[in-house]
């Protein structure tokens, strides 16, 4: 995105993409350049508007018009590009171990292990047989028959053409689409060593007549093929760990539920639970689906979903989240969300999409890999020509050319960003932080200067209550009844506080007529043939409502205490005042201080009047306040705060603040329970704790640092490795790189990048800096002031 424009999705995937979304599992990718080929193929499918292929997760996310896009056309496009694809449905529940796809995957893993084992065995024999040639000396008692070229040819052929078969398949597929990839480099390098060695094996006399020794390089072909395959095997094992979060989340889902139907309790598979089912949850069991407690009470461990470590007490009427652990009591609940609609399913789906998205920093690697393989082939040809022309030695020219082809590793570049993103989004999910797109992690870490906080439900508890009722003309309960009649039709938290107070006082609330809500101002209705308005004093004044100026002192006192004051008017006359308090969360001041310690400006953006807003800000430690802002005006204020090279994050409840969340560079929705507004934000905090914002920023900074480490290593490895393999050090040191070492380096480069990304699994949020202790005054000595 530009620094001055609205935020958007990762390259190729728009946040506003309307229509359908399809996820494809891709098979056959060998390096990062494959992703560009598949993306180009998908982009040509009619109706596709955006596509992103992730090399690390081996998945593609495609968006487009569902009226035009045929999923089978997407699969055909991938297959025509030389790869295999299948449509991935919502597989958040435990998949069947007899599923054909899983069986095929396990078979492929077993075949790879078998190839590695056979490759290692045959390569070891070849390596031992080549020791005399490599050392340039006779070894007493050495079985020279192992050095027989004919035997080495027989031992190498299975490695070259069976163990390394997929390199040839990949290279041929790349050739058919007029491109080149890592398979091309490996196939060219190992084939050069293998087929060159056949010539001195079959025609040794030709070399003798030229005064040359008929050296063979079968061990180079076999060992390089095996090492690269060992690296691929290790890389796959490491990459599987990057998806550990998905497996853990799916594993949280219980397999059965104890349903009460027609008065009979029975255990049924979780897939058969329907909305409206009554379910009994006993101590020690997991809550099967999202719902509401009907009978009983208990304490639940929600840490696996929200990241909160303390158990939460629940009783009749409270929501419960599927996959959370019931600790003590037994209760009966009603299923409200099942299957793919549960919070757990949404989390799994969101993590899967985030792991498949691209961060802007990945564009650097994508641009390099686009020309990387052709450039390496060019360097290899140049190496061969120069060594043969300058040294007149075709053997040295061949060895160095093979080294260049083998050591080049586009895989490390392709894995540098997506593996870190996969691990970070998975770790974030464990901490109750749901990242929708990879770009959000980068923007939180890079150039973020301001964090804007909403008040109600974000900085405060979000559970306002009426604390003061004042009226000069009637009883407080009569005033409360009048207000509750109007507010019963409103969904605003302050309105609900008024209704709850009236219900707690046992007041009967009759219906109102002609109710109208004024967004950000108040509400009005007709009650018992009289007009009643309730809301901001400024709104009532603007409508010409008269009120006694002597009430102003009372209003100012309440507002200075951080309370919201609303007026109640009847027949165009102010008849009373209500004070509503919403205490700040105990952790909010700590979170605000941590954000400020990070060098970020924290701003409170609220619809409250300046006096109340300033009082709340003082309690939280916030220095800058923007008050009396209506919901529709918040986005405009966010737009004013944004400027080039200075990004703004907005933290709100995700519902009333949706426009402001969308306008900010990073929108963070904070809430609790199953109604978290995931769609409205870039990042969603399942827990209501504001410290989650601090954790999200710390995680994003750790992720960006990890990506930069990976990219630095990948670039440095290729920048230094290719010239060394070409023999750049030979004029100064007389040292040449053995192609087998080049193969080992190439294999380890990808593994090291993935291993570095896996370090993010150990990310822990940093605790706040302890406040300095204020020394207590000295205690006076008895009988005087002390010495």
Structure tokens at 13: 């995937």
User: Quick one: which of 536, 533, 669, 519 has its CA closest to 612?
Assistant: 536
Nearest to 288 by CA among 297, 296, 300: 300
Short-list 617, 639, 275, 620, CA closest to 450: 639
CA gap 449, 110 in Å, rounded: 51
Q: What is the 3-state secondary structure (H, E, C) of 434-454?
A: EECCHHHHHHHHCCEEEEEEC
Compute the half-sphere exposure of residue 601: CA atoms within 13 Å on the CB side of its CA.
12
Which residue, among 433, 461, 346, has the nearest Cα to 697 in the 3D structure? 433
552-577 core/surface letters (b: 16 or more CB in 10 A; e: else): eeebeebbeebbbbbbbbbeeebbbb
- In 678-717, which positions are buried (b, 16+ CB within 10 angstroms) versus exposed (e)? bebbbbbbbbbbbbbbbbbbbbbbbbbebbebbbebbbeb
SS3 195: helix
Extract the tokens encoding 658: 């949706």
Strands of 36-88 (E only): list them. Answer: 48-54, 59-64, 84-88
- Torsion, Cα 672 676 682 684, to 10 degrees, reads 20
User: Rounded to an integer, what distance in angstroms lies between the CA atom of residue 60 and that of residue 42?
Assistant: 9
Please give the torsion angle defined by the CA atoms of residues 586, 587, 592 and 594, in that order, rounded to the nearest 10 degrees: 140
Euclidean distance between CA atoms 584 and 33, whole angstroms: 51
Cα 73 to Cα 85: distance, rounded to the nearest angstrom: 11
Compute the distance between CA of residue 510 and CA of residue 499 in angstroms, rounded to an integer: 12
State the Cα–Cα distance between residues 186 and 94, nearest whole angstrom: 38
Alpha carbon 14 to chain centroid, angstroms: 16
Pair 160, 225: CB distance under 8 Å: yes
Q: What are phi and psi of 719, to 5 degrees?
A: -65, -40
**Would you call 674 helix, strand, or coil by DSSP?**
helix
Q: What is the largest CA-CA distance in the chain?
A: 123
Q: With H, G, I as helix, E, B as strand and everything else as coil, classify residue 107.
A: helix
313: its two tokens = 């007490």
122: number of Cβ within 10 Å: 23
Segments in 285-361 forming alpha helices (H):
303-306, 343-356
| Residue 451, φ and ψ in degrees, nearest 5 | -120, 120
| Three-class SS state of 117 | helix
Sheet of 683-685, strands arranged across: 433-435, 683-685, 666-670, 647-652, 448-453, 601-605, 624-626
Determine the Cα angle at 571 with ends 565 and 577, to 5°.
15
SS3 761: helix
Torsion sign (Cα): 525, 530, 535, 536: positive
Which residue numbers are catalytic? Answer: 454
Contact status, residue 259 vs residue 273, Cβ threshold 8 Å: yes
Looking up tokens 């005087």 gives 784
């Amino acid at each position: 995105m530009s620094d001055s424009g609205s935020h958007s999705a990762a390259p190729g995937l728009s946040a506003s993409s309307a229509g359908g979304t399809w996820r494809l599992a891709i098979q056959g990718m060998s390096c990062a350049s494959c992703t560009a080929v598949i993306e180009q193929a998908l982009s040509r499918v009619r109706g596709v508007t955006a596509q992103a292929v992730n090399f690390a997760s081996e998945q593609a996310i495609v968006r487009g018009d569902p009226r035009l896009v045929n999923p089978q056309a997407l699969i055909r496009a991938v297959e025509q590009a030389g790869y295999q694809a299948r449509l991935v449905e919502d597989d958040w529940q435990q998949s069947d171990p007899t599923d054909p796809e899983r069986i095929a995957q396990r078979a492929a893993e077993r075949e790879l292990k078998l190839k590695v084992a056979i490759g290692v065995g045959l390569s070891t024999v070849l390596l031992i047989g080549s020791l005399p040639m490599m050392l340039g000396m006779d070894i007493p008692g050495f079985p020279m028959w192992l050095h027989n070229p004919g035997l080495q040819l027989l031992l190498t052929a299975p490695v070259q053409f069976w163990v390394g078969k997929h390199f040839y398949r990949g290279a041929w597929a790349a050739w058919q689409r007029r491109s080149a990839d890592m398979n091309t480099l490996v196939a060219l390098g190992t084939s050069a060593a293998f087929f060159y060695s056949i010539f001195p094996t079959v025609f040794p006399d030709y070399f003798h007549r030229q005064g040359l020794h008929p050296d063979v390089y079968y061990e180079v072909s076999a060992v390089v093929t095996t090492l690269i395959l060992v690296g691929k095997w290790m890389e796959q094992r490491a990459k599987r760990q990057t998806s550990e979060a998905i497996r853990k989340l799916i594993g949280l889902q219980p397999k059965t539920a104890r349903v009460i139907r027609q008065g009979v309790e029975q255990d049924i598979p979780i897939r058969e639970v329907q909305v409206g089912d009554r379910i009994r949850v006993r101590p020690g069991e997991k809550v099967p689906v999202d719902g509401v407690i009907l009978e009983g009470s208990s304490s639940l461990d929600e840490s696996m979903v929200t990241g909160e470590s303390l158990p939460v007490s629940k009783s009749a009427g409270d929501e419960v989240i599927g996959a959370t652990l019931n600790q003590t009591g037994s209760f009966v609940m009603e299923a409200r969300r099942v299957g793919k609609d549960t919070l757990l399913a949404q989390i799994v789906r969101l993590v899967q999409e985030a792991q498949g998205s691209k961060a802007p920093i990945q564009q650097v690697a994508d641009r390099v890999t686009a020309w990387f393989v052709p450039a390496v082939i060019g360097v290899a040809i140049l190496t061969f020509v120069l060594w043969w022309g300058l040294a007149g030695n075709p053997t040295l020219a061949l060895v160095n050319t093979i080294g260049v082809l083998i050591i080049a590793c586009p895989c490390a570049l392709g894995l540098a960003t997506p593996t870190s993103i996969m691990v970070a989004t998975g770790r974030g999910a464990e901490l109750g932080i749901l990242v929708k797109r990879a770009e959000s992690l980068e923007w939180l870490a890079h150039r973020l200067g301001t964090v804007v906080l909403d008040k109600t439900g974000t900085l405060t508890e979000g559970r306002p209550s009426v604390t003061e009722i004042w009226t000069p003309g009637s009883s407080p309960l009569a005033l409360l009844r009048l207000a509750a009649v109007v507010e019963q039709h409103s969904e605003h938290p302050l309105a609900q506080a008024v209704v709850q107070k009236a219900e707690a006082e046992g007041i009967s609330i009759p219906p109102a007529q002609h109710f109208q809500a004024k967004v950000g101002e108040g509400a009005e209705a007709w009650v018992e043939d009289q007009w009643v308005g309730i809301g901001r004093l400024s709104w009532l004044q603007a409508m010409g409502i008269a009120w006694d100026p002597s009430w102003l002192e009372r209003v100012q006192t309440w507002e200075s205490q951080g309370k919201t004051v609303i007026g109640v008017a009847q027949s165009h006359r102010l008849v009373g005042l209500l004070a509503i308090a919403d205490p700040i969360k105990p952790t909010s001041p700590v979170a605000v201080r941590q954000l400020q310690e990070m060098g970020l400006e924290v701003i409170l953006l609220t619809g409250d009047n300046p006096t109340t807003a300033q009082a709340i800000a003082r309690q939280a430690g916030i220095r800058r306040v923007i008050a009396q802002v209506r919901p529709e005006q918040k986005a405009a204020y966010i737009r004013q705060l944004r400027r080039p090279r200075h990004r703004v994050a907005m933290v709100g409840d995700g519902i009333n603040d949706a426009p402001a969340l969308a306008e900010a560079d990073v929108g963070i929705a904070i809430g609790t329970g199953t109604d978290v507004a995931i769609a409205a934000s870039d990042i969603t905090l399942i827990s209501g704790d504001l410290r989650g914002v601090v954790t999200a920023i710390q995680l994003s900074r750790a992720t960006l640092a990890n990506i930069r480490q990976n990219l630095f290593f990948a670039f440095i490895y290729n920048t230094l490795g290719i010239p060394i393999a070409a023999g750049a050090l030979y004029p100064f040191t007389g040292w040449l790189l053995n192609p087998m070492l080049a193969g080992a380096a190439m294999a380890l480069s990808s593994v090291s990048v993935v291993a570095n990304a896996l370090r993010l699994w150990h990310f822990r949020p940093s605790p706040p800096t302890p406040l300095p202790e204020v020394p207590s005054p000295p205690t006076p000595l008895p009988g005087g002031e002390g010495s």
